[in-house]
């Protein structure tokens, strides 16, 4: 494989760096990362050099004698640091989905360096003078240019540009500490998750657990040098026990251990939480905001804390009575099957699966044979083709960072749109959950359209020696969710990298993901791919109807659970951190109104709440419910016109997916829907009204 050096200042690369693959121009398909050449030892010197290049680019913008204009200041800032962005895109994605102790150590060293670089930009007085000059005298700009200018100016303001010299130094110190603490939080959660393995030697203790899950557990035990079966806290393993194990003590043990992650163990996050909240509040107050939530919400659709709480209270008003009735009925059902005493949290999944089966004659074990992973991939691709004119071509010449990863070229009406990486299975080197990310963002300067490199990372049920990967219905829905994010990235058609794809406010970014989930229960979608993996029989119509009938099962509980996380997030980011003595007692108080089942002593949600303490959703978790209002209302238009109606789908691509952050979210939504969003569609879809 040949490489050419083309980046600015490349000629000045020291001899010892000239063979560093991270600093080379990649002669690869679509300039995709050459993962086979990149080693851990390449990252730090590459970052150090890329930071030098980026700082020189910023210095040139600062020191130019030209009068400040949009082009020589705002556009130039957007274009700066691309070598650094490329290296960061690889490094941090690897640290999330294929980490090593060395990568984690490097992250602790590199993150503060990047924070200092960011501070050098936003706390630069001469640079801010130029940005402010353009902001006050913008001239004629397109809508997208005006958005970039506004975003850039506010980024400076929100990063301390208007502070006194002394306060700027304080801002620097706080931001560096926060970058370290965020990393530490995530590392602790991963380490605590990986620190538990339940080894079972007697198969009698595993009655009720499906054969495929037992086979996975047997293979897991073998891989760890153990006899019998091994269960851990990865989602497929954990959920198999919680949903199917007749052994109540086993369910209780796994429940407790899952909800004790990074709590009162060697990886305890309680003090980390207190420190994060202390520094976040100090940062917000330094910038003139009373709370971190007020600071975080200023540029989001919600705008302020009051609007967030108003939404949550409105939804809780409808959700809690439904949830209370659901839990009372489930408790009665569990008692009819022999449970004595109150329904406990480790009973919920187990008895609800049985009740769901009785009420609707459908469950995951009935559905999984129709959701072979390869067929689900085909189905999701077919959906993207029918709605958005996307086609997907496997490319084995594109290198991957792990053998499990699949890669596709993505086209729309013959035009190359993106490279898509799919990474499906759990491993110890990967954090839990599912997410969409990018190795490279889209941008178009009018001459060159740089297309994105999009990656979907999940933790789905793996294949075994006897069976292919068969997904649960929830995993199918999760795939659709993350693929919705991917469409936002792949279909982006904007000029500026910082406005492309998913570069939108947190309470708008979940619209494309949650919208796509709606197709999961639609016959027209399921008929395209849901074939029995042995008989090749298409999923029966009556089974599809049962899926639809059961779709709102425990809808009140599901809504309250989301509101629990949202209220917890808002509590942490509106509370004076100096008043926090005990993390658990604060947590219990915040979520008391959303809870019905007995509290379990010795557990804590916050210590593993990665979304808000290490994942970018601080004072933003409400965004999932906010976006549910948007997606339900948006999907109602598809339902009115036909779920595969091309005119509606084209309008959605044109007004939402292609636009990224190039216009205000409400404007984009209104342009698509014809009006502002209404909550009724969500309440009706969920059966809450």
Active site residues: 482
Identify whether the C-beta of residue 498 lies closer than 8 Å to the C-beta of residue 80: no
| Main-chain dihedrals φ then ψ at residue 368, nearest 5 degrees | -55, -40
**E strand or H helix at 26:** strand 25-26
C-alpha to C-alpha distances, 66 to 63, 75, 145, 482, 669, nearest whole angstrom: 9, 14, 20, 45, 39
**Cα angle for residues 582, 587, 590 (degrees, 5° grid):** 130
* DSSP secondary structure letters along 196-256: --EEE--GGGGTTS-HHHHHHHHHHHHHTT-SSEEE-SSHHHHHHHHHH-S-HHHHHHHHH
Classify residue 580 as left (phi > 0), alpha (psi -120 to 50) or beta: beta
**Cα distance between residue 384 and residue 653, in whole Å:** 11
The answer to whether the beta carbons of residues 43 and 17 sit under 8 Å apart is no
Give the separation between CA 534 and CA 19, rounded to whole angstroms: 50
What DSSP string runs through 606-635?
A: GGG-HHHHTSS-TTTTTHHHHHHHHHHHHH
Residue-wise DSSP of 388-444: H-EEEEE-TTS--SSTT-EEEEEEETTEEEEEEEEE-S--TTS-SS-EEEEEE--EE
Q: Which helix (H) or strand (E) holds 530?
A: none
Going by C-beta distance under 8 Å and a sequence separation of 6 or more, which residues neighbour residue 646?
Answer: none
Residue 385, token pair as written in the block: 């083709």
Q: Strand, helix or coil at 35?
A: coil
Q: What phi and psi, each to the nearest 5 degrees, are found at residue 410?
A: -115, 130
Burial of 44 (0-12, 13-18, 19+ CB in 10 A): middle
Tokens of 41: 């030892």
Q: Nearest 5°: CA angle at 296, between 294 and 300? A: 100
């Amino acid at each position: 494989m040949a490489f050419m050096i083309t980046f600015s200042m490349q000629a000045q690369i020291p001899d010892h760096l000239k063979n560093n693959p991270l600093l080379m121009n990649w002669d690869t398909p679509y300039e995709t990362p050459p993962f086979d050449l990149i080693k851990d030892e390449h990252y730090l010197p590459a970052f150090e050099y890329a930071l030098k290049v980026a700082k020189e680019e910023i210095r040139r913008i600062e020191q130019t004698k030209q009068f400040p204009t949009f082009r020589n200041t705002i556009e130039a800032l957007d274009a700066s640091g691309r070598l650094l962005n490329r290296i960061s895109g690889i490094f941090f994605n690897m640290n999330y989905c294929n980490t090593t102790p060395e990568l984690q150590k490097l992250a602790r060293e590199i993150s503060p360096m990047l924070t200092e670089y960011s501070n050098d930009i936003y706390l630069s007085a001469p640079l801010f003078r130029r940005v402010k000059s353009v902001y006050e005298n913008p001239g004629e700009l397109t809508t997208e240019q005006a958005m970039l200018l506004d975003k850039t100016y506010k980024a400076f303001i929100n990063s301390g540009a208007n502070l006194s010299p002394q306060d700027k130094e304080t801002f620097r110190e706080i931001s560096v500490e926060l970058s370290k603490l965020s990393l530490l939080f995530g590392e602790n959660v991963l380490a605590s998750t990986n620190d538990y393995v339940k080894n079972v030697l007697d198969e009698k203790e595993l009655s009720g657990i499906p054969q495929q899950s037992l086979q996975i557990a047997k293979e897991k035990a073998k891989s760890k040098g153990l006899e019998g079966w091994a269960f851990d806290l990865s989602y497929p393993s954990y959920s198999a026990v919680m949903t199917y194990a007749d052994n109540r003590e086993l369910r209780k043990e796994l429940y407790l251990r899952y909800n004790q992650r990074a709590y009162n163990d060697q990886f305890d996050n309680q003090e980390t939480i207190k420190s994060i909240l202390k520094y976040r509040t100090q940062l917000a107050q330094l910038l003139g905001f009373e709370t971190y939530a007020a600071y975080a919400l200023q540029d989001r659709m919600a705008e302020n804390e009051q609007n967030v709480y108003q939404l949550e209270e409105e939804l809780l008003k409808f959700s809690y009575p439904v949830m209370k009735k659901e839990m009372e009925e489930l408790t009665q059902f569990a008692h009819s099957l022999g449970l004595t005493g109150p329904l406990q949290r480790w009973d919920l999944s187990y008895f609800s699966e049985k009740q769901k089966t009785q009420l609707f004659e459908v469950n995951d074990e009935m559905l999984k044979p129709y959701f072979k992973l390869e067929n689900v991939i085909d189905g999701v691709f077919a959906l993207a083709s029918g709605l958005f004119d996307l086609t997907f071509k496997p490319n084995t010449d594109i290198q991957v960072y792990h053998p499990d990863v699949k890669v596709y070229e993505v086209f729309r009406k013959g035009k190359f749109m993106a490279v898509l990486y799919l990474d499906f299975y759990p491993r110890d080197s990967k954090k839990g959950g599912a997410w969409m990310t990018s190795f490279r963002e889209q941008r178009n300067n009018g001459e060159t359209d740089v297309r994105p490199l999009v990656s979907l990372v999940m933790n789905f049920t793996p294949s075994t020696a006897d069976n292919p990967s068969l997904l649960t219905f929830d995993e199918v829905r999760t795939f659709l969710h993350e693929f919705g994010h991917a469409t936002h990235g792949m279909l982006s058609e904007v000029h500026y990298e910082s406005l492309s794809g998913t570069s939108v406010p947190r309470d708008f970014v979940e619209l494309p993901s949650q919208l796509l989930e709606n197709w999961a229960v639609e016959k027209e979608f399921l008929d395209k791919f849901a074939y029995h993996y042995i008989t090749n029989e298409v999923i029966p119509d009556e089974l599809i109807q049962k899926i639809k009938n059961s779709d709102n099962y425990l809808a009140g509980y599901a809504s309250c659970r989301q509101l629990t996380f949202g209220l917890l997030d808002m509590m942490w980011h509106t509370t004076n951190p100096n008043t926090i003595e005990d993390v658990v007692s604060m947590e219990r108080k915040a979520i008391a109104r959303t809870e019905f089942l007995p509290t379990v002593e010795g557990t804590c949600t916050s210590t593993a709440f990665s979304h808000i303490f290490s994942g970018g959703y601080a004072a933003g978790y409400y965004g999932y419910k906010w976006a549910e209002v948007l997606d339900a209302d948006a999907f109602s238009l598809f339902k009115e016109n036909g779920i595969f109606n091309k005119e509606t789908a084209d309008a959605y691509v044109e007004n939402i997916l292609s636009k990224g952050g190039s216009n205000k979210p409400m404007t984009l939504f209104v342009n698509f829907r014809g009006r502002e969003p209404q909550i009724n569609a969500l309440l009706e879809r969920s059966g809450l009204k």
